[in-house]
Structure 1
Amino acid sequence: MGKPQVVSDQSFEQDVLKSDTPVLVDFWATWCGPCRMVAPVLEDVANEQGEKLSVAKLDVDANPITAGRFGVRAIPTMILFKNGREADRIVGYLPKPQLMQKLTPHLTMAAPSAAATPTASSTATPKAPPTPPTPPLGGSPTSSTPNAGVGVTKIH
């Protein structure tokens, strides 16, 4: 894909919510130090994930409607949209390995036939229970984001 795509209040519906691929949207502002820290990480992710993931940037100062619509109260906030819905939310700076650890489960698809047909190895080894979903507003005291609140700038 290359560089993250710039989206706006006007283009958000078409570019993000109607996208055929998952889209990671970085809600940011020019004056935000942690936002500048996460920018090169997101460029790397955009370059490496190619067709699996699109990366977009939305300036919260220039596009307050969309930021408000999704309850963005601190930046950087990265929201992963999949099939037009929020699939995950990360508030604050995350180094690339931790960011990819959060994103990867949303980018891989299990083959339907593998789940339908048990094999000798799958019947002998019990499977771990699924990971509970991330709460809708990352950064709360119960958030599953490991460093929620780190590298965060509150929006007034």
Structure 2
Amino acid sequence: MEKFVKIINDEEFNSKIENGSGIAVVDFFATWCGPCKMLAPVFEEAAKDVGNKASFSKVDIDQCLELARKYGVSTVPTVMIFKDGKPVDKMVGFMPKQQIIEKINSNF
């Protein structure tokens, strides 16, 4: 199965998200987090459904601590929506796919 979501590091975050254009959806997660594991397939499905309208990435907060701090991520999973490099929306905790898609659509 093709993966629609890529785990990115600090440098990729800087070039793809902060310096990117359009809508970017980022899942801040941790490998040890139960709700994060539950969200992973839902996030993947949302990425597939939304297609090219937005880019989807994941950031491991244990690997990118400074990034998590910079964006005030204290609870995982936290899904943030960026528009043209600026954070415009934030969802904390597990959420259904439809809720993620509705948040994305409300930011176009």
TM-score (normalizing by structure 2): 0.92
Q: Structure 1 CA distance, aligned partners of 2:20 and 2:6?
A: 13
Structure having the higher helix fraction is: 2
Number of residues paired by the alignment? 107
Q: Percent of pairs identical after alignment?
A: 36
Task: Choose between structure 1 and 2: higher strand proportion.
Answer: 2
1:21/1:51 contact within 8 Å kept:
no
Higher RCO (CA 8 Å, separation ≥ 6 residues):
2
Compare CA radii of gyration and give the structure with the larger one. Answer: 1
State the AA in 2 paired with 1:86.
Answer: P
Whether 1:89 aligns to 2:102 is no
Aligned residue for 2:45?
44
- Unmatched tracts of structure 2, length 5 or more: none
What CA distance in whole angstroms lies between the structure 1 residues aligned with 2:97 and 2:34? Answer: 17
Verify the 8 A CA contact 1:21 1:53 in the aligned structure 2. Answer: yes
- Tell me the C-alpha RMSD between the 2 structures: 1.4
**SS at the partner of 1:79?**
strand
Q: CA deviation at 1:20?
A: 2.2
What displacement does 1:2 show? 4.5
In structure 1, list runs of 5 or more residues that go unmatched. 108-156
Runs of 4+ residues over 4 Å off in structure 1: none
Name 2:61's counterpart in structure 1: 60
